[in-house]
Amino acid sequence: MSRGPELPSVAQLLDIADDFGLDMTAERAGEYRDAMSGGIRALRRIDDMVEERPEVKYPRTPGRRPKPEENPYNAWYWLTDIKGAKSGPLKGMRIGIKDTVSVAGVPMMNGSRVLEGYVPQIDATVITRLLDAGAVIAGKTASSDFSFSSGGHTSAYGPIRNPHKPTHSPGGSSKGSGVALAAGDIEMALGGDQGGSIRIPACWCGVVGHKPTFGLVPYTGCMGIELSHDIVGPMANSVENVARMLSVLAGPDPYDPRQRGVIPEDYVENYMPAIGQGCEGLRIGVVEEGFGHKADTWPDLKLLPSDRRIDAKVRAALRGLKKNGAKVRNVSVPMHYDGIRIWFALVAEGAVDVLYHGSGLGSNWQGYYDTPMLDHVAKSLRARPNDIPPTVVNVLLMGEYLKRHYHGRYYAKAQNQRGSLKRAYDAALEENDVLVMPTIPQLPGPIPPPDAPFGEYMFRALNMLNNCPQFSTTGHPAISVPCGMVDGLPVGMQIIGRHFDDLKVLQAADAVEKLGDWRTK
């Protein structure tokens, strides 16, 4: 039997009291110690009881680290060959899994040496669904360090390189998935998105990446950053394959609190009908604020201005849709500019709660808590704090400062402003079926050298967040689909739809894809 928690010492209680600002004598601390002895004994019984755990349904071996010659762009963290059901809509399809998603028996480190040595004991719900559909798990794709970077340079085993130009960034944080798709290693992959981490690498790698409506796809078994932003979704080499994956992934999961009271009873279960529908009569709103960003558009944020050539490529694709029968018109959503600020306030403080204080899981929600993951993250963060990457340190320092000195005020205000941001896009969607803008209005930048100055390291990690974080905050479905090339690098169009109208988003993306080979445009 497990011994469970020990009764705290008087000194430990005095330390805690001091942190809380309580005046307490050793004698009173001893009295509190005696008062809590029964509760501590009760917790020992909790340790002895069996906890519910999702079933691991398919056999597998642990897999292995790839050899350098197998991994020229460093897209893969780990290689596996886990076979699912003998039949199903994804039969035999090899799928890469972002290394934030638990695969039982396979190492997981979320791109960070801090988490080295962790091996999940469960399959995330999305893994079980893929395997039930006949898929083969080909391996774990490399992630940004703690998924806190949209650049190519922050990852435990070195930079991840863009197959179109290996000296340049593939975007992040689901960069291994984007690169493996662009390199032709696989046809489908899973990514995660809390601020653009599916759409950004999809854009810069020239693949398709869909951030589903918040709550549509279960997050159970994935490492979180902020519970109201955590999303996992499909990436693929075509819109059709994204639709095929989403049809398997979507649906209620009793373990996931993000879905409680969210998924409507009449949600779409099969997204394949979106393919081949064309765009005749499709109403497209072109968001003016998504284009033409200047150096001073966000004077408080170090974001790059728009590249006019990218704006032109997106508008050219829109002209193609119009020729095919779409109804295209400009719309204005002025709050788009402030959406990034709302997102930043939520992620800065929320990440401290979930990632650090909540050990990657947080608390105060009903669902499945992966206790082995919690234990490993908690111990590793405290045992190897100097291995935490600068992007995460920056968020931890700022978030904890705001929490200690402003008591969560800015997180709370940002949550209250979230509804206004959502309604601003909803108003534009009342008269339009989808909204459109560039996914990223800049081309990929160069991967900085290992000895790059701190300022360049941070700048290259976060300078492309102009148009993506807003829809992680509002929860609208959003997809990036390739629509052209500039200087040999891909350009992506972002298409946004109404909540749970992912089908319409996929229909529009498929129409863009069918305009012709984007590599020649």
Catalytic residue, candidates 155, 169, 173, 480: 173
Quick: pLDDT tens for 460-513.
988 899 999 999 999 999 999 999 999 999 999 999 999 999 999 999 999 999
Segments forming the whole domain that contains residue 248:
68-520
pLDDT (0 to 100) of residue 470 = 98
Q: Do residues 423 and 274 share a domain?
A: yes
Q: Do residues 248 and 314 share a domain?
A: yes
pLDDT (0 to 100) of residue 3 = 67
Instruction: Answer yes or no: 173 catalytic.
Output: yes
Quick: pLDDT tens for 321-338.
999 999 999 999 999 999
Residue 415 — pLDDT band, cuts 50, 70, 90? Answer: very high
pLDDT (0 to 100) of residue 461 = 86
Is residue 488 within 8 A of residue 309, CB to CB? The reply is no
Domain annotation covers residue 54? no
CA dist 482 and 236 (Å) reads: 12
CATH number of the domain that 243 lies in?
3.90.1300.10
Q: Do residues 226 and 184 share a domain?
A: yes
Domain annotation covers residue 2? no
Q: Do residues 33 and 79 share a domain?
A: no
Domain annotation covers residue 434? yes
CA dist 5 and 41 (Å) reads: 8
Quick: pLDDT tens for 151-205.
888 898 999 999 999 999 999 999 999 999 999 999 999 999 999 999 999 999 9
Domain annotation covers residue 4? no
pLDDT > 70: what percent of the chain? 99
Quick: pLDDT tens for 316-375.
999 999 999 999 999 999 999 999 999 999 998 999 999 899 998 999 999 999 999 999
Q: Classify 392 as helix, strand or coil.
A: helix
Task: Extract the tokens encoding 54.
Answer: 């999702």
Instruction: Answer yes or no: 102 catalytic.
Output: no
Domain annotation covers residue 60? no
CA dist 393 and 308 (Å) reads: 34
Is residue 380 within 8 A of residue 115, CB to CB? The reply is yes
Catalytic residue, candidates 144, 149, 169, 197: 197
365 CB-near residues (< 8 Å, 6+ apart): 227, 257
| For residues 32-58, average pLDDT | 91
Q: Do residues 386 and 280 share a domain?
A: yes
| For residues 41-65, average pLDDT | 92
pTM assigned to the model: 0.95
The DSSP output letter for 74 is -
Catalytic residue, candidates 98, 140, 175, 211: 98
Residue 2 — pLDDT band, cuts 50, 70, 90? Answer: low
Q: Do residues 227 and 181 share a domain?
A: yes
Quick: pLDDT tens for 60-112.
999 999 999 999 999 999 999 999 999 999 999 999 999 999 999 999 999 99
Answer whether the bond into residue 472 is a cis peptide, omega within 30°.
no
**Statement: residue 21 has pLDDT above 80:** yes
Domain annotation covers residue 1? no
Domain annotation covers residue 117? yes
| For residues 362-391, average pLDDT | 93
| Counted domains in the chain | 2
Q: Do residues 302 and 389 share a domain?
A: yes
pLDDT (0 to 100) of residue 462 = 86
- Tell me the pLDDT of the chain averaged across its residues: 95
